[in-house]
Amino acid sequence: MRPHHHAVPRPVDLTAARAHWLTADLLALPATALPHDLPVHELAARLEHAPDGGIHPRDEPGAGWDLHLDDSGLPASVLAGVPHLAGALALRLPGEAAALAGDLLTGQVALTVRHRGRLVLATSVQVPHVLDDLYAEAARRRRYGVTWADGERDGAAGDVAGRVPTVTVWAPTARQVSLLLWEGVQPDGATAAWAPPGQPRRVPMARSDDGAWSVTGDPAWRDRCYQLELSHVLPPPWTEQVVRTTDPWSVALTLGSTHSVLVDLDDERWAPGRWRQAPAPARVRPVDQTVYEVHVRDFSRDDPQVPEELRGTYRAFGVDGLGRRHLRTLAEAGLNTVHLLPVFDLTSVPEDPADRARPDPRVLAELSRLDPGGTEQQRLVRRTAHLDAFNWGYDPWHFLAPEGSYTTDPGAAHGGRRVAQCREMVAGLHELGLRVVLDQVYNHTTASGLQETSVLDRVVPGYYHRLDGQGRVETSTCCQNVATEHAMAEQLMVDGCVLWVRHYRVDGFRFDLMGHHSRANLEAVRAALDALTPEQHGVDGSAVTLYGEGWNFGEVAGDARFHQAVQGQLDGTGIGTFNDRLRDAVRGGAVHDESGRSGHGWATGGSDPHDTDLLQVGLAGGLRDVRLHSHATGRWTTGAGVPYGAAPGGYALEPDEVVNYVDAHDNETLWDTLLLKLPDATPMAERVRRNTLALACVTLSQGVSFWHAGAEILRSKSLDRNSYDSGDWFNLLDFSLQDNGFGRGLPPSPDNGARWDELAPLLRDPALRPTPEDVRTALAGALDLLRLRRDLPLLRLGSGERIRTKVSFPLSGPSGRPEVVVMLVDDRPGEPADPRWSGALVVLNAGRDEAEASLPGLAGQDWELSPVQRHGSDPVVRGTRWDAARGRVRVPALTAAVLVRPR
C-alpha cells in the first residue's frame, strides 16, 4: 500500500504537530505528512516520551513505545468526530502505554517514523481528542471557576457571611497547579486604579482523576484577587515552564483584567434593587421578536441629556435621556428585544481611562468644520484607534465576566462592582418591557499561546483552539479559532450562556460566526437553558431565544469537521440564522462587493426579477418548501428552487430559523447603501421612502425581524463599510435626530481607502444630507411598521405548516412587475391565527409610479387599509384603494401598504 500524498518540507520538525492522538491507544497520521513514495509497511512508527521534555529526534529510537499499523483504519466511531482525518493511517499504542496516557501527556510526546533505521519523520502530536477521550465525560460533571458553599447570613444588610469558595480549573496536562491569593481587598468606594498589594500567598491545588485541580478556601477569601500558576512542559524548547494566568471561568476581574476576583454572584451587594425588582419581559415566540441591535457605547455616548460621567456606560440605560426615551417610543410601537454588541470582557479597549488616548477636545471641535469628503478626520481617528474607548468588541478575553470599560469609573471596573453595573443595564431595559439579547463570540479568541491575553492556552496548551494539519491555530475567523467541537470548549460555551441567564437574567443570545460551531454545540446550549426553571433557578431558560450567523466558510465549511450550525441545518431547533438572501435582494449586489455602488436591489432602484423571487421567499420566512410562481423563470417553484448563487434561496423548515434583516453593525448602514446605489440626483423624499420600504421587507415578513440601531433614523457612518475600530467620530448615533452621521469625512483607509475617489463627491454633496424633518419622517414611518407587526398576528404565523397553508404571492410570475410584491395571508384555511382579521394583504411597491394589481381571486371581498396606516403618519399610503368589484388594488409609488379583511 502506497499513500497518495505530496512532499512535506522539514519532515523532522517538532515545532509542527502533524500527528493526532485520538484515544488512549490510537493515533492518526495523515499520509500527507510522510515523505513521498515510502511503502507504509516498511515504516516503523514510535511514540517517544520525555517526562521533562528534551526529545531530540535521531536515527536511534528514544524512550517510548512502538506503534502498530492498524490496516482497518480509523474506526467509524472515532472518524465521526474527526472526519477531516479520513484516510489517515491508524497507529495503535500498546496496552501498557495506553494505560499511562494521562501521565504521558504531562510531559513531551512526539511521533517518529523510521525507514530501515533512518529517521524520516519527527513531529509533535495534537492532543485535544485524547484528552476528551480520557477526561471529558467525568470533567463535564464539574462546575468550574469559583463556586460557593451555602452559608449563614449575618446581621449586615445584604451581606453574605460564612460562604466558602472553591476554585476549580481543568488542567489535565499540568504538572502542578497553585492558586495565587492576594490578601488585600479593594476598599469600598475606591475610584482610582487599584492593583492588589504585596506578594500573593501560594495555595497548592489538588488534582482529581478527571484532570481538574481544585482548592477550598474560607469565608475570608471573599472579594480577594487571585491568579492560577501552572507548571507545563512547553515549546520552545520543550522544558518545564511556570505560567501565571487569570481563570478562564472568571466571573469578576480587576481593572485591566489582570487578576480574577473571588466574587459570589449571589452576594446581594452586587444585586442592585433596581435589577432585583425589574419585571421579567413577556415571553415571546422567536418569530414574535422585533430586534434592535445596539452598541453599549453608541447608545449614550452622544446623548447630552445623560450625565457626562454615565455616557457610554452600562448605567446610561437606566437614565431618562434621549436614548432611553427613543427605546421607549420604539417599545410602545412594538419593539420587544434589544440586542447588545459584546459586553463580555474584551481585549480591545483599555479599561482604565488613564490608559486611553483621547483626542484633544479642541481638535474634536474642529472636525465638523473640515472637508466632509476629506481624509483628515480618519487620520486623526486612526492615530488613536488602538487606544481609544471604542471598539465593537468581538475580541474575547474572559467570556463569563462583564467588560470593565463600560463601567462608570476605574473603581467600578473592579470585582463585583462591574457585575452590579451590568445588571443595572439589564434592569433598565427590562423596565421598558424589552428583552435583552447578548452577542456571544465563542468562535475565536484574540490570542493563543502564551500571549498576554491568551487565557485558554495558558491553562491547557494546544487544547482549546482548532489546529490545522501542521498544528498551527486556524484563523479563518480573522482571529484564533476556538474548537468548540472539543468537549471542554463546548462546556465553556454552555456554562457562559447559563451564567448570563441565571445571574444577569438576559433573554437571548446571538452567536457570532455560528457556522464555526456544530449543531451539537447549539443543542447543548439549548438543553442547558431549557433545564433552568423559575422554581429552582429564578429564571425560565426555555424562554431564552437563540440565533446567529450561519455562514459556511473556513476550515469547517461543508461539515468538514462536524455537522455545522449553518443555514439549513438547524431544522427543529428553533435557532435562527441571518437571512443574507433577503438582505442582498433588497440592497442589491453583495456586501463584500469591491464597489458599494454596483448591484441595484429591489429597494435601491433595481428591477431584477430574481431579486423579487428572493424577496418573496424571505417574506414567507425563508422556507425551502414554500411555493411561488417565479418572476425570473415563469415557472412554479419552491423556496429551495430559487437560487442564491450555488445555494438555495429558501433553506429553513420553520420561520423561527430565519432572521430577516437589511443591515447590521457589519458593512454599510442601510442609509449609506441607499446613498451609494441610488442615482445622485434622487430626491431626498424618495430616499426616505425607500428606507422605509427596505425596513418593511423585514418588519412585515414571517420569521424574526431585526433592525440595526439607527436604521429607523437614517443613520450614516459616513459610508464606512467596517466601523469596528472607527472610533466615536464615525459611529455617531444621535437620538436627538439632528445629525445622522453623514459627511464626517472619508471613512478610515484600511477598509475604505480603495473607494475614496468615488466616496468623496458623495460626502461633499449637501443635497445628500437629510434634514431633521427627513429623519423624523423616517422614524414615523418605521414606527408604523412596528405597529403593523405588533397588531397583525398574520405577519407572525409561527410555523412552516401555517405559512404553507395561508401564505401566497398572487401577483408573482412573469406577468407581474418585479418592483411590486403582493403577499396574501389568508387566515381562512386551518386554525385561525388572528381573532380580528381573516386576511392580510401586504403590497410593496418600489416603483416610481402608482401600481395597480389585479387580484381576481379576491374579487367581491371586503378589504380595507389597516387601521395603523389609516391613522398613521404617512398621508401617501392613505391613497391606497381597493376595488372589490374587479378585485384590484392601487398602491401609491414607493409605498408599503397593508390591507386587512374583517372577519
The residues that are catalytic are 512, 549
Cell numbers representing residue 358 in the block: 483621547
Residue located via cell numbers 501552572 = 230
Dist. CA 825–CA 808, nearest whole Å = 7
Dist. CA 750–CA 745, nearest whole Å = 15
CA distances to 37, 119, 164 from 265, rounded to whole Å, are 61, 56, 13
Cis omega (within 30 of 0) on the bond before 237? yes
Alpha helices in 646-755 (DSSP H): 670-677, 684-699, 727-730, 749-752
CA-wise closest residue to 348 among 453, 477, 459: 453
Q: Where are the beta strands (DSSP E) in 722-850?
A: 807-808, 820-826, 837-845
Specify the DSSP class assigned to residue 605: T
Report CA 360 to chain centroid distance, whole Å: 34
CA-wise closest residue to 741 among 760, 713, 701: 713
Q: What is the CA radius of gyration of the chain?
A: 30
The residues that bridge with 652 in the sheet, in sequence order, are 623
Dist. CA 841–CA 853, nearest whole Å = 12
CA distances to 155, 489, 700, 831 from 843, rounded to whole Å, are 66, 48, 10, 24
Sign of CA dihedral 322, 323, 328, 334: positive
Dist. CA 307–CA 877, nearest whole Å = 41
Question: CB under 8 Å to 769, separation ≥6 — which residues?
Answer: 740, 742, 743
Cell numbers representing residue 501 in the block: 441567564
Dist. CA 393–CA 666, nearest whole Å = 13
Cell numbers representing residue 670 in the block: 442601510
> Is the CB of residue 294 less than 8 Å from the CB of residue 302?
no
Question: CB under 8 Å to 556, separation ≥6 — which residues?
Answer: 466, 476, 515, 516, 562, 564
Cell numbers representing residue 551 in the block: 455562514
Dist. CA 877–CA 184, nearest whole Å = 67
Dist. CA 653–CA 446, nearest whole Å = 35
Helix (H, G, I), strand (E, B) or coil at 262: coil
Burial of 562 (0-12, 13-18, 19+ CB in 10 A): buried
Question: CB neighbours (10 Å) of residue 801?
Answer: 12
Q: Treating both helix axes as pointing N-terminal to C-terminal, what angle do 772-791 and 322-333 enclose, rounded to 10 degrees?
A: 40
The residues that bridge with 194 in the sheet, in sequence order, are none
Dist. CA 453–CA 349, nearest whole Å = 13
Helix (H, G, I), strand (E, B) or coil at 690: helix
Beta strand pairing call for 704-708 and 290-294:
parallel
Sign of CA dihedral 397, 401, 403, 409: negative
CA distances to 442, 788, 898 from 879, rounded to whole Å, are 50, 18, 12
Dist. CA 18–CA 25, nearest whole Å = 17
Task: Please give the angle made by the CA atoms of 484, 488 and 493, to the nearest 5 degrees.
Answer: 55
Question: CB under 8 Å to 773, separation ≥6 — which residues?
Answer: none
**End-to-end alpha-carbon separation of the chain, Å?**
75
